[in-house]
Structure 1
Amino acid sequence: MANPTPDVPSVPILLLGDAGVGKSTFLSRLTLGNTAPSAPFTPTPLPTLHDLNQPFPFDIRMYNRPYRFEFSDTSSPSNYTLLDPAVIVLCYSIADPASLANLRTKWIRIAEDHFNPDDRIPIIVLGLQRDVRGREDYRGSVRPSAQGSSPPLPSSGILDTTSISDPVDDNDSDNNGDDEEEDVKPLNPRTFTYPQEALRLAQEMRCDRYCECSALTGELFREVVEDLARTAALTTTEKGGRTEGWGCVGM
């Protein structure tokens, strides 16, 4: 990895969160660049990243000057607790409510104890795998993806359905009940997290910002990167990147 020139600020950013929530996919999408809002999004195969190459650099120009953001996560070849991040991103999977709960019970404590004892580092909560939420239909079942089949939802054990059957008449329940149960798998109401639920938790943890995206489909990805970039750039100023007061700003 080439070192930035002396006049280019380098901002280390650390992603924390459970394994499997989508941190690697987010970083893979980030390495492709092309995040400018004016650039049309095109589906592109995501590269495979190697942990030994951390931190992953991301160069951007904003506020009429260049910046380099260096992203690491818990798979860093160095012990991540020994890193010195300027921004912390707490990641969870929208498809796995337990990963959101773990932000409160585990990851915010690690962030505060190891990196932020003086409360100077901005902390952002990032919801990943947003595309899962968009595939729920009004009956609480999961629709197949546009390709005709849906990838399994992490930690849910719920199968995607291919159709929604008509309501079964009571007189035919003995004959058709088993078939309908096979055709439609109800979605556990706790299979995914709503944005207001995660925002409330971020506010309770006194984090600075909340945002969410799907790195797989690119939905809101550019907006999230722009949000992260603004916060990271502010850490190089005297004011810093913390949100004024105790409010948590939603994207």
Structure 2
Amino acid sequence: MAADMEDKETVTILLLGDSGCGKSTFLSRLKAGKMNPGNQPGSGVGGPLEPLHDGDQPFIYDIRFSKKWFILEFYDTASPNQHWSTLKPDVVVLAFDISNRKTLDGLKQWRNDTTRYFQSGYGERIPVIMLGLKRDLRGQGEDIIYPQESYRIAQELRCDRYAECSAVTGELMNEAFEDIARVAAMTTTESGGQSAEGPV
């Protein structure tokens, strides 16, 4: 096992999205899941949420996926030491609030920025995951975004995956984290993390 740990590969993940859409709470829930014995990162409600401080970035998670160990380095948009556009992420996660349509509309600009800053050559494309947050707030109303619409937007934005979850209740956190981990692991392979057929 020690040899496996020495062979860890680091994957940098940048979390982009409008202020207040739930990015920090999502990362806090991952940390809470990690810190409690018996819980995997992101598995349900793993303990009380502790506020994360921008100065602590990157937020680091060790994971084992497909029989290999990886270090996932998460950066939130508000990194204090450098503007996020100067980072060199391996994966970008575009986050929005399921109960706030304005944050969904903002994803188009975030996606354009991703292409602008991280796509340096023709045909080169960074894996992008679209992540719906605050699933616990989904109810009836004109501002609520349902999965069918989210998948359609993910296709329009040429995202590789779509996932959604609630960091407050823990609902689908494990699945969302697994989707991110899977794409992160794929970036270390020859085929890379892009999907051929759009979001899955």
Same fold (TM over 0.5): yes
Shift of 1:36: 6.5
Higher alpha-carbon Rg: 1
1:82 counterpart residue number:
86
Match of residue 125 from structure 2? 120
Counterparts of 1:154-233 in structure 2 under 5 Å? 187=141, 189=142, 191-233=143-185
1:240 to 163, 168, 192: 192
What letter is aligned with 1:248? P
Alpha-carbon offset, residue 74 of structure 1: 1.0
* Percent identical: 49
Report whether the alignment pairs 1:132 with 2:137: yes
Residues 79/6 of structure 1: CA separation in 2 closer, same or farther (3 Å cut): farther
CA distance in 2: counterparts of 1:116 and 1:6, whole angstroms: 31
SS at match of 2:106: helix
The alignment of Structure 1 onto Structure 2 pairs a total of residues equal to: 188
Q: CA RMSD in A?
A: 1.7
Residues 28 and 36 of structure 1: CA distance in aligned 2, closer, same or farther (over 3 Å): closer
Determine if the alignment matches structure 1 residue 51 to structure 2 residue 54. yes
Which residue in the other structure is 2:40 paired with? 35
Q: TM-score, normalised by structure 1?
A: 0.71
Deviation per CA, 1:78-108: give whole Å up to 9, x if none.
111100000000000001011101111x101
Which amino acid in structure 2 is aligned with residue 74 of structure 1? T
TM normalised by structure 2 equals 0.89
Task: Report the Cα distance in structure 2 between the residues aligned to 1:80 and 1:217, rounded to whole angstroms.
Answer: 29
Letter aligned with residue 89 of structure 2: P
Alignment deviations for residues 13-52 of structure 1 (CA, whole Å, 9 cap, x no partner)? 0000100000000000111222369x6x446210111101
CA–CA separation in structure 2 for the residues paired with 1:36 and 1:98: 29
Residue 14 of structure 1 aligns to a residue whose secondary structure is: strand
AA aligned opposite 2:85: T
Pair 42,82 (structure 1): closer, same or farther in 2 beyond 3 Å: closer
Does structure 1 conserve the Cα–Cα contact (< 8 Å) formed by 2:29 and 2:46? Answer: no
Moved over 6 A (4+): none
Contact 2:41–2:177, Cα closer than 8 Å, also in 1? no
Post-superposition shift, 1:64? 1.4
> SS of the counterpart of 1:126?
strand
The 1:205–1:117 alpha-carbon spacing in structure 2 relative to 1, beyond 3 Å, is farther
Consecutive unaligned residues in structure 2, runs of 5 or more: none
2:127 touches 2:193 (CA, 8 Å); kept in 1?
Answer: yes
